[in-house]
Amino acid sequence: DTAVSQTPKYLVTQMGNDKSIKCEQNLGHDTMYWYKQDSKKFLKIMFSYNNKELIINETVPNRFSPKSPDKAHLNLHINSLELGDSAVYFCASSVASGNTIYFGEGSWLTVV
């Protein structure tokens, strides 16, 4: 069983479109994250949710909106996609009191 799973793995879309990436974890963790990895492999945190509550919201355009229907799911919706949004988006999870996080396989987003 995959611990942190996200879909879709690959997404190619046109500028201006709206798209969503879904994430689910079966580790029983109470904290979930969205990270963005750019072409230079830098991993940057975007959002963090703890028990469905937004904890961290880094400087991310308003076009990005996370939604957590329950503590096992954290989805990412992106409006009006731009070329610069092309990146790999990783979902991750952890226990609130822990120091390590566990990543999903990533979603490769290409905006054309």
Partner 1 sequence: QKEVEQDPGPLSVPEGAIVSLNCTYSNSAFQYFMWYRQYSRKGPELLMYTYSSGNKEDGRFTAQVDKSSKYISLFIRDSQPSDSATYLCAMTEGGAQKLVFGQGTRLTINP
Widest CA span of the chain, in angstroms? 40
In terms of CB distance, is 15 or 43 closer to partner 1?
A: 43
Amino acid at 52: K
Contact assessment for residue 45 and residue 59, using Cβ atoms and an 8 Å cutoff = no
In terms of CB distance, is 14 or 39 closer to partner 1?
A: 39
Least Cβ distance, residue 72 to partner 1 (angstroms)? 17
Least Cβ distance, residue 16 to partner 1 (angstroms)? 27
In terms of CB distance, is 101 or 111 closer to partner 1?
A: 101
Parallel, antiparallel, or unpaired for β 107-111 and 10-13? parallel
